A = this chain, B = another copy of it.
Amino acid sequence: MNRPADSAAVRRTNLSRVLRYIEAHGPCARTEIAAATGLVHASVTALIADLIGRGLVEEAGATVSGGRGRPRRLLRIVPGRVWTVVVQVNRWDIRLRVADLAGSAVHIERAPHRAPAGEPEPVAEAIAQVVARAVAQADGAHLGRVVIAVPGPVIGGLVAAAIPFGWGATDLAALVAEHLPDLPCPVELVNDANMAALAEYHALAVAGTSHPDTVAYIRADVGVGGGLLIGGRIHSGSHGMAGEIGHVPVSLDGPPCKCGSRGCLVTYLGLQALTAAAGLGAFTPGQDAAAVRAELDHRLRSGDPRALAALHDAGHALGAAMLAVASAADAGEAILGGYLADWAPWLTPGIDTRLTGRRTAMSAVGFAVSVGILGADATLHGAVHVGRDRILDDPTAVPTGDSGAPATADCAPPVSIGH
């Protein structure tokens, strides 16, 4: 309520409302859009003319008879008008997904990179190469945004401390953009676990789970990360680091943690802690994490008592961290991702042991534990969601074409990063 309700802002909001409605419900008629949005018919007509002019919406060939009066032309989005390019980078490879305005993948690529630890420049160059190959195919589509998901906190648009890479604060978006001087859209950095949180939240909603206001997503692959969702949106917090559930302390005098503290959840639930507790020997950061996870998975499925006990105890610590998020932020649900989702059957008894007392004493305050369903693709799906939201929130970012049809050449003016 602090920004002026000026006419440009109102128009942008209304364009967004109409485009979002058509995206979700189309093909649909102008009268339906007017009824659903509460906008008067003349406004809807003008807004749709604008969206058609930008190539975002088109009239469907089909018409329906309203029983009497003129037949109505139905409207639908033009999915191919806007592309979102999303990249997920980790220590070993780069995954790319290009999605249209409907969220459908139009291009997928996965490429290993050989960038050494400690230097962001080779990683930036490798990302730029993959992005350039995708962008070269964007015949007529407006490039809405390049979204890069990184395994580290993003503070003020910078990768703050990417532990897997050994970087300090890095403006990775600018480094990538330097290799792509003709890129006609902003580059945005996001945290990979936050993106996975967003994607799992929406995927579970589509699958029928109704979420409470505040939801904690907790994911583990080697370390333990996550995201905090409020009203379906990522809560950034004071530094863009909310949802780092792995560093919630669960004991006063627990093992020391890389974060400088001790007794953090990750010291009980991280891959290193689990392998040690399960008797797999010391796991070191240089080791192949996938192979270690596969070995532990095998032992769990074959009923190895030490592996089962390790997961039970880790579930107990995870339950304590859930109580912390439930008490501090009133999260009403935790969604598990990564190996927490894979191994939920063995973690759940420990979690329940920790939650049962509170659940009994405060039965009015529900807390649900859900298991993510998107697996390794969660981060890319979430990043696509963010890229699409940028366009759906502000359709005026897409330039007006000549005929309303998708332009045949790239028609977007250069836009500065952070636009």
Which residues of A line the B interface, CB within 8 A?
Answer: 1, 3-6, 10, 13-14, 16-17, 37-39, 155, 160-161, 169, 212-214, 216, 228, 230, 235-252, 256, 258-264, 316-317, 320-321, 323-325, 327-333, 354, 356-362, 364-366, 393
Contact = CB atoms under 8 A, between A and B. Distances in A.
Contacts of A1: 13, 16-17, 393
30 contacts: A1-B393, A3-B38, A5-B10, A5-B17, A10-B10, A155-B364, A161-B362, A213-B237, A213-B238, A214-B238, A228-B328, A230-B235, A235-B329, A238-B333, A239-B364, A240-B330, A242-B328, A244-B330, A246-B327, A248-B323, A249-B320, A249-B324, A252-B317, A258-B361, A260-B358, A261-B354, A263-B320, A321-B324, A321-B328, A328-B328
Contacts of A361: 258-261
Given A213-B237, A239-B366, 7 more contacts: A1-B17, A169-B364, A239-B332, A242-B330, A244-B328, A248-B328, A249-B323
Nearest to A258: B361
A245 B323 CA distance: 10
A356 B10 CA distance: 48
A209 to B, nearest CB: 14
Contact of A327 (B38, B248, B366): B248
Contacts of A16: 1
Contacts of A228: 328-330
B260 A327 contact: no
Contacts of A321: 324, 328
A240 B330 CA distance: 7
- Best-surrounded residue of A16, A260, A356, A393 (most CB of chain B within 10 A): A260
Contact of A214 (B155, B214, B237, B261): B237
Which 7 residue pairs are nearest across A and B when measured between Cβ atoms? A237-B330, A260-B361, A4-B38, A238-B332, A212-B238, A260-B357, A242-B330
A329 B327 contact: no
A114 B358 CA distance: 32
Contacts of A245: 327-328
B238 A327 contact: no
Contacts of A241: 330, 365
Contacts of A316: 252
B161 A364 contact: yes
Given A251-B251, A252-B316, A364-B161, A329 B328 contact: yes
A171 to B, nearest CB: 14
- Best-surrounded residue of A4, A216, A327 (most CB of chain B within 10 A): A327
A398 to B, nearest CB: 18
Given A13-B5, A252-B251, A393-B1, A260 B330 contact: no
Contacts of A323: 247-249, 261
A197 to B, nearest CB: 13
B252 A249 contact: no
Nearest to A261: B358
Contacts of A258: 361
Contacts of A236: 213, 330
A256 B358 CA distance: 11
Contact of A329 (B6, B237, B246, B320): B237
A80 B381 CA distance: 54
A359 B356 CA distance: 34
Nearest to A246: B327
